[in-house]
């Protein structure tokens, strides 16, 4: 009886689901006044998704329906996810192509190499940050080296 | 046009017939305009789409004529912009996307699965009317000053240029519903209307192709609809979602546009794959190699096709991260496409190949689609595309896929099913000549464009540097040959309606239901009795020799051997509750 | 459309005998016709979902780029009205589900009452929406280019960059959703009339069921729009 599309949902079930939906609505409004910071969006969307799931499974009776209808609906949802995700892969990293001026890649690489060499030339006493970097009164180079190996 | 001719053509009763068929059981104009018969709707679409193809094709010839020399040869630059825009828009949205599903899918699909009709016949008719509404809006766009944005309507230019854009975007919005209706109808038909015994593994591969296509149509088309609505709102209400001067993002428009328009490429090519499988199996008289692989690769392409749209946007300013992701997934599409091509070639191997016109188109397809596919992989490579983007290389690549793939397959399919649609045979000699002209003309037109593109000739220009002249003239000459070939097809097709030899029920000795169990001209309800399917769609083991004509009854000693008809289903089908 | 309910023409084939009036000639059984209609409706629903998805993408992208704007702008919306509207729409979903429940049990009258209640609730939703819209128009909170906020708590938006994008998205999303509500009202009205004329019974109630599915989808879209626009 569970998959012939003529399942009659008991009135009690419908009312219970409705109660759940109202509760979640009140909850999401209440939660909106709690300062959740970065969690506000995921919580709100999560509650909305729960409500939508309740509607789909019970009001739309997808739980008792032909599996092919559930598959159809699932594919639709997956496509929405794909649409949002792949667009946001772009918009989240927009402008990461930094080398759009006249410099060639070769010039940029040479600059980076030069900067790296400069970095390496920094006297190691300037790199001392922790007490472990200052063992006794040994030479600067050795101190940095032992500091690395100790930690 | 040809609807009337067809009526007169079959007015004389066919000796193979008991009289009534889908063309002559009602003949008034109103009976055509109000028909819910999937076959008649297929014919209506066929006539309409032929007119659109003719118009858009003539525009292509005009473009090539303008490009026969550098500088202005016959039209102003603005005119050229409108011509290439209308060519692209009409070919893509009004011809290629609906073409095979609306014509051949409508006509053949229900018969191939043993159904009396599609699941929602009225919706099917509505689809044609909605399409006509879209076509009317297109004409309005032309009257309103035309469109010069290219077929892609990129913002912000499309927001600022002429009023025609408003009409054209509405046209695409409306015509999109025609595709959704067709796709929705086919999915339900394939799921619910199959004859007893027609399991998923016995579906003809054309049906599988249509199934995959329909999935894409249903999932992607709404997005172009809303994109067009947003573009209209952008113009009318200045909503500032795409317009950078209002804080919007033009690249977002490209995302929306290509979320539909890349899958739309698969809407165009997947039905062509389906036709190919039918043609190759029938005309090499061998069971298709790798049935399941071909069937499932269609679905795989349909799904993967949704994950690659960003490869149209490598130079749009989208983030490099997403370019890399899209480029990688683009390579994956090559796998299912390759699976198909290899399986077709394997089917040909040791087959008994019968070089009729449809088969010549099928072999052309293999060649042309392979070039289209390989060049596609090349432009899918991120770094290569930066060089080739917006050059003739791209133009040539997608013409190899769309024209060399879809249109050639459509031509093959039209020849293949022509006897079933019209009850007449086309002229085989002229058919072969035309197929040859199309193949040669096509390559002559578009191969030089690959070279031009690689040398840096940008697309969408009415003029070019002198050094490109030779190749451009070669291309223009090729377009002439291609045009002659296509007009020849039109000519002998119309001729055959009246003077063509009467077709037998199964002229090709094919093994799918529309040939084995349906009369030469189909009954209004397709089958006298619903068939009971007991074998696969490509069981040719009954036919060991292929030559000449024959008919469904004379199975055996002389002439073409045709597979047996499927038996009739029991009167009370078991699934009747 | 999917709610295709033609009276079948006279049977043209001998293997068709005494089938119900609602059964179309190209279907073998009521069961097949019902399943087809329902699958068709689900497919139509996913086209609707995809239609809305583009607007959700636009929302996500602009929210990602201008989160402060969206927080500031959403604070100007009326949460009370939004909450009431959510509850109104949820209730209408319940009544439409109940109408299917009753028609399955052959209680046609109760089915019609519930459809009527759904209509009233949908109308209420639109009325509240109307008041929300007009209060925004009064303060110049138009979409996009005409955006000119003034008066009340809207005045502060004049200094918030990209606030007009929020209102563009707000009006487009709720506008297209409202259009769906109006279409839904028309369809529900038509189904109620058909039910009143006695077209439906527990044997055949496909249009009621399909209309219900459509209405629930309209509800689901609002379930997401409400927190996205009003709360966060």
pLDDT for the residue numbered C91: 95
- Whether the CB of C216 is below 8 Å from some CB of chain A: the reply is yes
Over residues B155-179, mean pLDDT: 90
A86/chain B closest Cα distance in angstroms: 7
Which of B191, B249, B310 lies at the smallest CB-CB distance from A86?
B310
> How far, in Å, CA of A38 to CA of B203, rounded?
52
Q: Work out the burial of residue C15: count CB atoms within 10 Å of its CB; fewer than 13 is exposed, 13-18 middle, 19 or more buried.
A: middle
pLDDT for the residue numbered A100: 59
pLDDT band at C144 (very low <50, low <70, confident <90, very high): confident
Q: Which residue of B has its CA nearest to A100?
A: B317
Which of A45, A83, A87 lies at the smallest CB-CB distance from C227?
A45
Over residues C164-189, mean pLDDT: 94
In the stretch 306-345 of chain B, residues with CB closer than 8 A to chain A read 306-307, 309-310, 313, 317-322, 325-326
pLDDT over 50 (residue B218): yes
- Whether the CB of B184 is below 8 Å from some CB of chain C: the reply is yes
> How far, in Å, CA of B246 to CA of B231, rounded?
14
Taken as a whole, chain A contains a residue count of: 151
* Mean pLDDT rounded to a whole number for chain B: 89
Residue ranges of the domains in chain C? 30-231
B132/chain C closest Cα distance in angstroms: 17
Contact between chains at B219 and C50 (C-beta distance less than 8 A): yes
Taken as a whole, chain C contains a residue count of: 232
pLDDT for the residue numbered C162: 85
Over residues A70-83, mean pLDDT: 94
- Above pLDDT 90, what percent of chain B? 74
pLDDT over 60 (residue A2): no
Mutate one of C50, C59, C164 to test the B interface: name it (highest B CB count within 10 A): C50
Which of B221, B239, B577 lies at the smallest CB-CB distance from C29?
B577
Q: Which residues contact B525 (CB under 8 A, 6 or more apart)?
A: B116, B117, C12, C13, C26
Residue ranges of the domains in chain B? 2-12+23-516
pLDDT tens sequence across A39-71? 889 999 999 999 999 999 999 999 998 899 999
Complex prediction ipTM: 0.89
pLDDT for the residue numbered B366: 95
Q: Are B6 and B493 in contact (CB under 8 A)?
A: no
Over residues C153-159, mean pLDDT: 80
Domain C30-231: give its CATH superfamily. Cytochrome c oxidase, subunit III, four-helix bundle (1.20.120.80)
Which of the listed ranges B2-16, B21-35, B154-168, B409-423 does the model predict with the highest average pLDDT?
Answer: B409-423
Using an 8 Å CB-CB cutoff, list chain B residues near A94: 251, 317-319
pLDDT over 50 (residue B1): no
DSSP string, B506-569: -TT---SHHHHSS-SS-BTTB-SS-B---S-TT--TT-----S---SS--SSSS---PPPPPBP
Q: Which residue of B has its CA nearest to A88?
A: B322
pLDDT band at A102 (very low <50, low <70, confident <90, very high): low
| Architecture of the structural domain at B2-12+23-516 | Up-down Bundle (1.20)
Which chains have 3 or more CB–CB distances shorter than 8 Å to chain B?
A, C
pLDDT band at B277 (very low <50, low <70, confident <90, very high): very high
Short-list B32, B23, B91, B68, CA closest to B470: B68
């Amino acid at each position: 009886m569970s998959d012939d599309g003529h399942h009659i949902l008991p009135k009690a079930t419908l009312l219970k689901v409705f109660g759940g939906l109202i509760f979640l609505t009140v909850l999401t409004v209440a939660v909106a006044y709690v300062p959740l910071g970065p969690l506000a969006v995921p919580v709100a969307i999560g509650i909305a998704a729960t409500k939508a799931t309740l509607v789909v499974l019970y009001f739309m009776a997808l739980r008792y329906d032909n599996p092919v209808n559930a598959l159809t609906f699932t594919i639709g949802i997956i496509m929405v996810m794909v649409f949002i995700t792949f667009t946001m892969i772009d918009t989240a990293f927009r402008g990461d192509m930094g080398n759009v001026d006249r410099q060639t890649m070769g010039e940029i690489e040479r600059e980076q190499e030069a900067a790296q060499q400069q970095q390496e030339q920094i006297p190691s006493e300037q790199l001392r940050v922790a007490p472990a970097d200052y063992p006794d009164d040994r030479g600067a180079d050795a101190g940095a080296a032992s500091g690395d190996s100790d930690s | 046009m040809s609807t009337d001719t067809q009526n007169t053509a079959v007015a004389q009763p066919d000796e193979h017939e008991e009289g009534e068929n889908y063309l002559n059981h009602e003949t008034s104009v109103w009976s055509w305009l109000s028909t819910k018969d999937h076959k008649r709707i297929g014919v209506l679409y066929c006539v309409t789409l032929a007119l659109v193809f003719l118009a858009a094709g003539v525009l292509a010839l005009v473009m090539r004529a303008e490009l026969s020399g550098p500088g202005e040869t016959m039209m102003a630059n603005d005119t050229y912009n409108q011509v290439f825009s209308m060519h692209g828009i009409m070919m893509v949205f009004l011809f290629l996307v609906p073409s095979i599903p609306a014509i051949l899918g409508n006509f053949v699909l229900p018969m191939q699965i043993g159904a009396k009709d599609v699941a929602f016949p009225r919706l099917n008719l509505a689809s044609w009317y909605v399409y006509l509404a879209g076509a009317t809006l297109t004409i309005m766009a032309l009257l309103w000053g035309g469109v010069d944005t290219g077929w892609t309507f990129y913002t912000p230019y499309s927001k600022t240029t002429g009023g025609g854009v408003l009409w054209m975007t509405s046209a695409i919005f409306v015509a999109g519903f025609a595709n959704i209706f067709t796709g929705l109808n086919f999915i339900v038909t394939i799921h619910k209307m199959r004859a007893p015994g027609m399991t998923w593994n016995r579906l003809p591969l054309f049906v599988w192709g249509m199934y995959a296509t329909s999935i894409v149509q249903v999932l992607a088309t709404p997005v172009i609809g809303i994109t067009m609505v947003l573009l209209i709102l952008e113009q009318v209400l200045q909503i500032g979602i795409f317009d950078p001067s209002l804080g919007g993002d033009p690249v977002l428009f490209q995302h929306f546009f290509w979320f539909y328009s890349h899958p739309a490429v698969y809407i165009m090519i997947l039905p062509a794959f389906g036709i190919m499988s039918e043609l190759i199996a029938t005309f090499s008289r061998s069971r298709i190699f790798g049935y399941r692989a071909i069937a499932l690769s269609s679905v795989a392409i349909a799904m993967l096709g949704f994950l690659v749209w960003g490869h149209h946007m490598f130079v749009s300013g989208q983030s490099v991260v997403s370019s890399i992701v899209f480029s990688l997934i683009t390579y994956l599409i090559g796998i299912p496409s390759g699976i198909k091509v290899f399986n077709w070639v394997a089917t040909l191997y040791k087959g008994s190949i019968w070089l009729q016109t449809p088969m010549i188109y099928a072999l052309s397809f293999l060649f042309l689609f392979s070039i289209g596919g390989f060049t596609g992989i090349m432009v899918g490579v991120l770094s290569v595309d930066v060089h080739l983007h917006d050059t003739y290389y791209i133009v040539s690549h997608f013409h190899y896929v769309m024209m060399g793939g879809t249109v050639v397959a459509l031509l093959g399919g039209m020849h293949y099913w022509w006897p079933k649609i019209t009850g007449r045979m086309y002229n085989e000699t002229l058919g072969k000549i035309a197929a040859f002209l199309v193949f040669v003309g096509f390559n002559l037109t578009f191969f030089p464009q690959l070279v031009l593109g690689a040398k840096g000739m940008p697309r969408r220009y009415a003029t070019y540097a002198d050094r490109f002249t030779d190749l451009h003239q070669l291309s223009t000459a090729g377009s002439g040959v291609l045009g002659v070939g296509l007009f020849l097809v039109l000519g002998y097709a119309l001729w055959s309606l009246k003077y063509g030899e009467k077709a037998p029920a199964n002229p090709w000795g094919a093994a799918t239901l529309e040939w084995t169990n349906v009369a030469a001209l189909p009954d209004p309800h397709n089958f006298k009795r619903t068939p009971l399917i007991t074998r696969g769609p490509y069981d040719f083991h009954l036919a060991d020799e292929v030559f000449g004509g024959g008919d469904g009854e004379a199975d055996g000693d002389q002439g073409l051997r045709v597979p047996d008809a499927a038996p009739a289903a029991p009167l009370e089908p078991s699934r009747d509750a | 459309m999917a709610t295709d309910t033609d009276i079948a023409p006279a049977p043209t084939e001998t293997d068709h005998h005494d089938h119900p009036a609602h059964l179309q000639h190209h279907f073998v059984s009521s069961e097949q016709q019902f399943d087809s209609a329902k699958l068709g409706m689900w497919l139509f629903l996913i086209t609707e979902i995809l239609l809305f998805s583009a607007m959700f993408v636009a929302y996500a992208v602009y929210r990602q780029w201008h989160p402060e704007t969206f927080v500031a702008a959403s604070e100007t919306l009326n949460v009370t009205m939004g909450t009431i509207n959510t509850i109104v729409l949820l209730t209408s979903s319940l009544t439409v589900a109940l109408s299917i429940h009753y028609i399955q049990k052959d209680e046609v009258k109760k089915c019609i009452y519930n459809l009527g209640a759904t209509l009233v609730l949908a109308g209420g939703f639109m009325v509240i929406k109307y008041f929300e819209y007009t209060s925004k128009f009064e303060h110049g909170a138009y979409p996009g280019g005409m955006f000119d906020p003034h008066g009340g708590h809207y005045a502060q938006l004049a200094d918030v960059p990209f606030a007009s994008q929020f209102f563009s998205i707000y009006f487009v999303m709720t506008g297209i959703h409202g259009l769906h509500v109006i279409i839904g009202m028309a369809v529900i009205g038509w189904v109620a009339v058909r039910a009143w004329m006695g077209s439906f019974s527990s044997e055949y109630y496909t249009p009621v069921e399909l209309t219900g599915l459509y209405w629930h989808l309209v509800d689901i879209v609002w379930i997401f729009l409400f927190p996205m626009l009003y709360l966060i």
